[in-house]
Structure 1
Amino acid sequence: MQRRTESTIIRLIIFLAAEFFIDQEIFGRFVSFFRLSDLASIAFFKLLTLVTIIFLVKFVLRQPVGFKRPTTKGGWIFWVIWGLACLGLTVLLPQHFFAAVIIGLCGAVPEELMYCAGIFGVIYNTVNGPERKKPGLWVPLLLSSLLFAASHLINLQTQTAFGTMLQIVQAFGMGVLFSAVYIRMQNILYPMAVHFFINFMVTSINGYPVPAATAKAHPSITPTIVALVIYLSIAAIVLFRAHRPSQLGTETWR
Structure 2
Amino acid sequence: MNNKNITRKILHFPLTKIIVGISIIVGLFALSKNLLGKIFQTNLLSNDLINLIVNIISSILTIVAYIYLYKYYEKRKITEFSTNGIAKNLSLGILLGAVAQSLTILVIYFAGEYSIVSVNPILYILPALGMAFSSAIFEEILLRGILFRIVEEKLGSYIALFISALIFGLLHLLNPNSSLIAGIGLAIQAGLLLGAAYIYSRNLWFPIAIHFAWNFTQTAIYGANVSGNALSKTLITSRISGSEWFTGGQFGPEGSIQATVFGLLASVFLLFLSHKKGNIVKPYWKTTITS
**Is the TM value for this pair above 0.5?**
yes
Query: Which TM-score applies when normalising by structure 1?
Result: 0.64
Paired position in structure 2 for 1:214: none
Matched, 1:82 2:98: no
Aligned to 1:183: 199
Partner of 2:166: 146
Whole-Å separation in 1 of the counterparts to 2:29 and 2:94: 35
Residues in 2 aligned to 1:52 and 1:233: alpha-carbon distance in whole angstroms: 31
Match of 1:229 among 253, 256, 261: 261
Q: Compare CA radii of gyration and give the structure with the larger one.
A: 2
Q: Are the structure 2 counterparts of residues 247 and 38 from structure 1 closer, same or farther at C-alpha, using a change threshold of 3 Å?
A: closer
Instruction: Name the SS of the counterpart of 2:184 in structure 1.
Output: helix
CA distance in 1, matches of 2:57, 2:15: 27
Letter of the 2:266 partner, please give it.
I
Q: Distance in 2 between matches of 1:47 and 1:81?
A: 21
Distance across 2 between alignment mates of 1:119 and 1:113 = 8
| 239 and 40 in structure 1: CA distance in 2 versus 1, 3 angstrom threshold | same
For 2:14, which of 5, 8, 14 is the aligned residue? 8
The Cα offsets for residues 207-229 of structure 1, whole Å up to 9 and x where unpaired, read as: 68338xxxxxx993443241223
Aligned to 1:115: 143
Q: 1:199 to 1:43 in 2, by over 3 A?
A: farther
Gap change, CA 1:169 and 1:58, over 3 Å in 2: farther
Distance 1:99 1:15, change over 3 A: same
Kindly tell me: are residues 44 and 146 of structure 1, through their superposed partners in 2, closer, same or farther at Cα, counting changes over 3 Å?
farther
Q: Tell me, what secondary structure is at the counterpart of 1:210?
A: coil
Corresponding residue SS for 1:138: helix
1-structure distance, mates of 2:191, 2:260: 10
* Code of the aligned partner of 1:117: G
Superposition RMSD in Å: 4.2
Residue equivalent to 2:58: 48
Change (3 A) 1:80 1:185: closer
Q: Unpaired runs of 5+ in structure 2?
A: 1-8, 103-115, 233-240, 249-254, 283-291
Distance 1:184 1:117, change over 3 A: same
Q: Which residue identity lines up with residue 198 of structure 2 in the other structure? A: Y
Contact 1:69 1:187 in 2 (8 A): no
- Please state if 1:242 is matched with 2:274: yes
Paired residues of 2:193 and 2:266 also in contact (CA < 8 A): yes
> Residues 167-213 of structure 1, C-alpha deviation per residue, up to 9 Å, x if partnerless?
533432312101111211223222222112211210210168338xx
What aligned pairs does 1:119-134 form with structure 2 within 5 A after superposition? 119-127=147-155
Q: Which residue of 1 aligns with 2:69?
A: 59
Q: Counterpart amino acid of 1:169?
A: I
Report what 1:132 is aligned to: none
Asked whether the 8 Å contact 2:153–2:281 carries over to 1, the reply is no
- Unaligned 5+ residue runs, structure 1? 128-135, 212-217
| TM-score normalised according to structure 2 size | 0.58
Distance 1:239 1:149, change over 3 A: same
Query: How many Å separate the matches in 2 of 1:246 and 1:9?
Result: 26
Aligned residues: 219
Shift, 1:141, TM fit: 1.2
Displacement of 1:101 after TM fit?
Answer: 3.6
If asked which structure has higher relative contact order (CA below 8 Å, sep 6+), I would say 1
